[in-house]
Homo-oligomer: A and B are copies of this chain.
Amino acid sequence: MLTLFKNARILSMQDDKIIFGELLVKDERIAFIGEHYQGEKPDKTIDCEGNLLMPGFKNAHAHTAMVFARSASDDLPLHNWLFDCIFPMEEKFKKDDIYHLTKCGILEYISGGITAASDMYFEVPEIVKASEELGIKNVIVATKLSEPIESIRNNYLTLNKKGSLISYMVGIHAEYTTPKERIIDIAKLANELKAPVALHLGETEHEVQGCIDRYGMTPVKFLDSLGLFNYGGVAYHANYFTDEEIKICKEKGIKIVTCPASNAKLASGICPVSKYVENGLTIAVGTDGAGSNNSLDMFKEMYLVSVLQKLSHKDASIMDGFDVLKMATVGSAKVLGLNECDVLKEGKYADIIMIDLKSPSMQPLNNIAKNIVYAGSKDIVKMTMINGKILYFDHKFYIDEDVNEIYKKAQEITNRLRG
């Protein structure tokens, strides 16, 4: 199957250049990018009318199924949000709830130009099934405290060979929710597999103080002392790292996933992204879950990454818009190990979005890439393609399922969990 995009602006994200030309997709992958394609006749030709092709966004930290908690607990302090609202609802889960809820969340990804997510949530097989059926990439991260180490090892070894849509990382939920013995067991596994470990880390001041009280060390230092990061790590949130912890991150290859919207709504804090950049850390962008965000919208995240740095430094020149666009695409891909769909390039997977430059917020044209960060929102996504398949075009889903049925199922489950 050959699909040719013509009359396209193309932002490969290998650099900040936008070329005008054509892009050919052959089956799952990009086969040509250039001025004019002259090979075998394509099966399908799409006239982009000057609109922009770029790599899809990679949502580097998510709990997709948590759409059940969307707007169920707004304007509550973190503790009440978690203990009075979220946990009691999660206790009522039935086995396939997560399958249906994950599908509902994936619809938001697809319509918002997100071509890969990274789900830290329970019931791995359900997440795999939902992601594969809708055709989105998902880097699933171990989180369940009660899951046997053997099961995590098995997931790691099997899911990372399962195909291009699914991959798997070793993880723990967080230091403050995981007994020391369990952390040590996970560290052993990570060392055996030579794998990085992903977790919530440095999200709140309360968490950091708790770790100091428990172990006399800040979280990164404590976990590193247990050998958790010998093969790298991924830190979700990372709002409160000391200079010493930043140094450990650099030495051990711990990468950062900033989730500014969720942290802002829960008043957890502002991730010092520009400081991390100065220190050479790799930064990715994530939405966190809909219970605390409430949207799953990389445009909102990108905007916040930039302006919260500008505000907190009282300096409008800090945190360049293009650098943020890179974080949400290339940076997130790097953190998730998605090296075959990070940029638009011949041979890479065709995980491509089309930005509608005829959207009012994109007009008139000037610095298109930066304007996606500063003025973009989900309405500018004209197309989402994953592995060469168009899943969304002109506000319509092209999936093998009835969207209204997915919504209906999610609503039924949500009503039961809230009841």
With a cutoff of 8 Å between Cβ atoms, the chain B residues found around residue A371 in the complex are: 70-71, 74, 294
| 23 A–B pairs (Cβ distance < 8 Å), ordered by A | A70-B366, A71-B374, A74-B321, A74-B371, A75-B316, A75-B370, A78-B316, A107-B360, A264-B308, A264-B310, A265-B307, A265-B316, A269-B314, A293-B375, A295-B374, A295-B376, A296-B361, A300-B303, A361-B378, A364-B411, A364-B413, A377-B378, A394-B395
Please give 14 more A-B residue pairs, beta carbons under 8 A apart, in addition to A76-B316, A104-B363, A290-B375: A67-B364, A71-B370, A74-B374, A75-B317, A108-B361, A267-B314, A267-B316, A269-B314, A300-B377, A358-B404, A363-B410, A364-B414, A366-B414, A377-B378
Report A58 CB to chain B, min CB distance, Å: 18
Residue of B nearest to A80 (CB): B317
59-98 of chain A: CB within 8 A of chain B: 67-68, 70-72, 74-78, 81
A285-324 at interface with B (beta carbon < 8 Å): 290, 293-297, 299-300, 303, 306-308, 310-311, 313-321
**Contacts of A315 on B, CB cut-off 8 Å?**
77, 267
* Chain B residue with the shortest CB-CB distance to A107: B360
Per the bound structure, the CA–CA distance linking A295 and B376 in Å amounts to 7
Of chain B, the residue at the smallest CB distance from A204 is: B314
Q: Which chain B residue has the least Cβ–Cβ distance from A358?
A: B407
A375-B295, A407-B358 are known contacts. Are A71 and B367 too (CB-CB below 8 A)? Answer: yes
Separation of A369 and B359 alpha carbons in the complex (Å):
26
Shortest beta-carbon distance, A363 to chain B, in Å? 5
Q: Does A180 contact B (CB under 8 A)?
A: no
A266 to B317, CA, bound (A): 8
- Contacting residues of chain A (402-419) with chain B, CB-CB under 8 angstroms: 403-404, 407, 410-411, 413-415, 418
Contacts from A to B (Cβ < 8 Å): 67-68, 70-72, 74-78, 81, 104-105, 107-108, 111-112, 261, 264-267, 269-270, 290, 293-297, 299-300, 303, 306-308, 310-311, 313-321, 358-361, 363-368, 370-371, 374-379, 394-395, 403-404, 407, 410-411, 413-415, 418
Residues of B within 8 A of A104 (CB): 360, 363-364
Docked pose: A74 CA to B369 CA in angstroms: 11
> Min CB distance, A7 to chain B, in Å?
15
Chain B min CB distance to A141 (Å):
22
Considering only CB atoms, which chain B residue lies closest to A321 in the complex? B74
Contact indicator A111/B379 (Cβ below 8 Å): yes
B-side contacts of A71, CB under 8 Å: 366-368, 370-371, 374-375
Q: With A81-B316, A316-B77 as known contacts, state yes or no: A111 contacts B70, CB within 8 Å.
A: no
Closest 6 CB pairs of A and B: A108-B360, A71-B371, A264-B307, A295-B375, A294-B375, A379-B379
B366–A311 touching, CB < 8 Å: no
Verify B297–A75 contact, CB threshold 8 A.
no
- Closest chain-B Cβ to A361's Cβ sits at a distance in Å of 5
Contact between chains at B297 and A377 (CB < 8 Å): yes
